Amino acid sequence: MNDLRIFQNSEFGEIRTCMENGEPMFCLSDICRVLEIKNVSDCKGRLRQKGIVTADTPTKGGIQKMTFINESNLYRVVFQSRKESAEGFTDWVTSDVLPSIRKHGMYATEELINNPDLLIRIAQALKAEREKSNLLARKIKQDRPKIIFADAVSTSHTSILVGDLAKLLKQNGIDIGQRSFLYT
């Protein structure tokens, strides 16, 4: 699962999508919300399993397992809806969202497509965000031994001998012996 994208529509709200093996996939709970289908599990049970994937998805409450469906299952869900705006939703998806994904590899409004400077700014912001995230991940990895050591020392409920402290330091990447520790 990759390339999580959120489509925004004033009438239908947000729809999360992603690409799976080159195929657009739609968040089932978002589709059910738009189409006022109350029981997502029942809806999922009526779909073809071949076109259903589950993926860890960022949400306001953190990472959650979400169900995504392929295009043919999307149409099955739309056909199950009794909501009057289901036809308008289908038109939006088929005439705007899917053609944009196929043409540009993503959903983009005409404003974005016709304004390359905006697209460049968005791409630069995304790049900066990824670099920041990668830097943070490297820092976390680098600080891990220090954190483990600090946790080990802080959870100790007794005093510690200098020799034991030297061993503990050595186990955590600080090469020092008992005598060197005393005279430094």
Residue 181: predicted pLDDT: 62
Contact 51, 39 (CB under 8 A): no
* Burial grade of 73 (CB within 10 A; 0-12, 13-18, 19 or more): buried
Q: What is the mean pLDDT of residues 60-68?
A: 89
Residue range 5-36, pLDDT digits in tens: 887 877 778 889 888 888 889 999 999 998 88
Q: CATH class for domain 2-108?
A: alpha beta
Residues 62 and 60: their CA atoms lie apart, in Å, by 6
Whole-number Cα distances in Å, 90 to 71, 115, 164, 165: 11, 27, 69, 67
Token pair recorded at residue 6: 């959120």
What is this structure's pTM?
0.49
The closest alpha carbon to 51, from 68, 75, 29, belongs to 68
Residue 70: predicted pLDDT: 92
Residue 41: predicted pLDDT: 92
Asked if the model's pLDDT at residue 108 lies above 70, the reply is: no
Q: What share of the chain is helix, strand, coil (3-state, %, to 5)?
A: 55, 20, 25
Give the residue, 92 or 69, on which the prediction is more confident.
69
Residue 104: predicted pLDDT: 59
Sequence ranges of the chain with CATH classification 3.10.260: 2-108
Residue range 111-170, pLDDT digits in tens: 666 777 877 877 788 788 888 888 988 988 888 877 877 777 777 777 777 787 778 777
